[in-house]
């Protein structure tokens, strides 16, 4: 009897905290910002306006929010994003939620900062489709109602591309989702996660997911801006998944650096709110989270997971979905009596 109690107790403890990986971290309340762009309320407000405003795209139909919908999971529910004229990009839109916790931006890490990232899609021909970024900025300048917002955020004569990007980045740094069941659990509320979720958390660590998906955002150790944390995906190429989901087509970071050594290297993605960001992976090829877990175990860790382990890990991943803050819709200024879209 005593022995049975002990056994129960020890297995209970094993469920509570698997010793192989102790550094579980809660999401910070604030995201780090670069020294030259401290986050202020004025920048955040302006950034929110610019983020939501489709009028700067070549057609006037595509905003940052079109592909990174903050009313939902910060993405677009599509495999590949769709920009102006129905054109399709080549990679899945990563969520903007908690993107401030990435030390580099884009799947291939080609931008060091959100400030740099924000400028990319504007002139991408399959995204916002503007020929030169100054043309988009001229549309912003043509909307007189934006001027006071720039002045409040950056001072006089501040309607520049650099400041627009800074404002958008400042806004994005507020898009964080604390207080998930997982966060409450690691802060001490041992009832915040279910037994299955705790079991999934331990399996997640035990099989080695945490060798990449560590840290508060589950995207690797904290790094200085510009220094990315990458992993080769896929690492093991002898499974059915490779062909089924076309996983060797995209060369990953090699496309950004031109270095063969960067082939198939991808920035390690955050797992936060992953229940809200299907479909999965850089090519959005997997629609189902269970399948994504199975695939990752096989291609990254060369393991065939049992259905029970998959279900446990999926349950744990659901515990990473946090609280989305309430956001007031911005009021986008008009140009009294003129459309900014008409080319003159």
DSSP string covering 52-92, please?
H-GGGSSSS---HHHHSBTTTTSB-SSSS-B-GGG-B-SSP
Q: Which stretch binds a second copy (CB under 8 A): 109-117, 150-158, 238-246, 335-343?
A: 335-343
Say if residues 99 and 114 touch (Cβ distance below 8 Å): yes
Say if residues 177 and 273 touch (Cβ distance below 8 Å): yes
Task: CB nearer to a second copy: give 31 or 70.
Answer: 70
- When asked if residue 85 is in the footprint of a second copy (CB under 8 A), the reply is yes
CB of 60 to a second copy, least distance (A): 5
The DSSP code for 267 is E
User: What's the farthest any 2 CA atoms get from each other in the chain?
Assistant: 87
CB of 25 to a second copy, least distance (A): 24
Q: How far apart (Å, rounded) are the C-alpha atoms in residues 157 and 155? A: 7
The DSSP code for 35 is T
Task: CB nearer to a second copy: give 66 or 158.
Answer: 66
Task: Tell me the three state secondary structure of residue 129.
Answer: coil
Tell me if residue 151 is catalytic. Answer: no
Per-residue string for binding with a second copy, 50-79, x by CB under 8 A?
--xxxx---xxx----x--xxxxx--xxxx
Q: How far apart (Å, rounded) are the C-alpha atoms in residues 11 and 312? A: 16
Token representation of residue 190: 């041992």
- When asked if residue 324 is in the footprint of a second copy (CB under 8 A), the reply is yes
> Per the residue annotation, which of 35, 45, 127, 343 is the catalytic one?
127
CB of 323 to a second copy, least distance (A): 10
Per-residue string for binding with a second copy, 244-283, x by CB under 8 A?
------------------------------xxxxxx----
- When asked if residue 86 is in the footprint of a second copy (CB under 8 A), the reply is yes
- When asked if residue 194 is in the footprint of a second copy (CB under 8 A), the reply is no
The DSSP code for 341 is T
**Residues interacting with a second copy, by CB under 8 A?**
52-55, 59-61, 66, 69-73, 76-79, 82, 84-87, 274-279, 287-290, 314, 318, 324, 326-332, 334-342
């Amino acid at each position: 009897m005593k022995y049975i109690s002990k056994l129960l107790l020890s297995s209970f403890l094993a469920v509570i905290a698997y010793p192989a990986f102790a550094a579980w971290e809660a999401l910070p309340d604030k995201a780090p910002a670069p020294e030259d762009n401290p986050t202020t309320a004025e920048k955040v407000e302006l950034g929110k306006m610019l983020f939501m405003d489709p009028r700067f795209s070549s057609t006037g139909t595509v905003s940052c929010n079109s592909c990174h919908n903050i009313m939902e999971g910060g993405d677009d529910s599509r495999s590949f994003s769709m920009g102006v004229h129905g054109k399709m990009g080549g990679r899945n839109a990563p969520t903007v939620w908690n993107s401030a916790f990435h030390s580099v931006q884009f799947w291939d890490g080609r931008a060091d900062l959100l400030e740099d990232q924000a400028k990319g899609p504007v002139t991408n021909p399959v995204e916002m489709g503007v020929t030169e970024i100054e043309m988009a900025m001229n549309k912003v300048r043509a909307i007189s109602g934006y001027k006071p917002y720039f002045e409040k955020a950056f001072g006089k004569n501040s309607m520049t591309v650099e400041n627009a990007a800074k404002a958008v980045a400042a806004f994005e740094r507020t898009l964080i989702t604390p207080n998930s069941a997982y966060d409450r659990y690691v802060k001490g509320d041992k009832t915040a996660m279910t037994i299955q979720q705790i079991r999934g958390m331990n399996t997640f660590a035990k099989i080695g997911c945490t060798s990449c998906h560590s840290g508060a955002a589950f995207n690797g150790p904290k790094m200085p801006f510009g220094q990315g944390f990458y992993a080769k995906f896929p690492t093991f190429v002898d499974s059915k998944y490779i062909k089924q989901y076309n996983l060797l087509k995209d060369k990953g970071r090699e496309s950004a650096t031109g270095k063969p050594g960067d082939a198939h290297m991808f920035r390690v993605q955050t797992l936060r709110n992953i229940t809200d960001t299907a479909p999965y992976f850089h090519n959005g090829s997997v629609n189902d989270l269970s399948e994504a877990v199975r695939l990752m175990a096989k291609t990254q860790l060369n393991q065939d997971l049992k259905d029970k382990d998959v279900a446990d890990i999926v349950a744990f991943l659901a515990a990473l979905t946090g609280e989305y803050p309430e956001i007031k819709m911005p009021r986008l200024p008009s140009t009294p009596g003129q459309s900014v879209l008409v080319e003159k």
